[in-house]
Amino acid sequence: MDGKGRCLDNVFIERLRRSLKYEEVYLAAYQDVTRARAGIDRWLRYYNFERSHQSLSNRKPMDVYRTRIIAKAAA
């Protein structure tokens, strides 16, 4: 938190970390770092490319990102 209102920036990453822990890490109980990295990578790809998010009007994060990049490039 490096300024007024910055504490709200943390909400999004904290929610992501909670989802990651409860949906992947705690369920998988990895035996080593290599397996953990592979499992977390797989989950993050699912989260960004396949999973619909209610806060994004049931769209996928990567679809929203691409739409914004295209709109920005056209402007």
pLDDT tens digits, one per residue of 24-37: 999 999 999 999 99
Residue 57, SS3 per DSSP: coil
Question: Which parts of the chain sit beneath pLDDT 50?
Answer: none
What is the pLDDT at residue 55? 86
- In the chain, domain spans: 6-74
pTM assigned to the model: 0.74
Interior angle at CA 52, CA 70 and CA 25, nearest 5: 115
Distant-in-sequence contacts of 61-69, Cβ < 8 A, 24+ apart: none
pLDDT at 32: 95
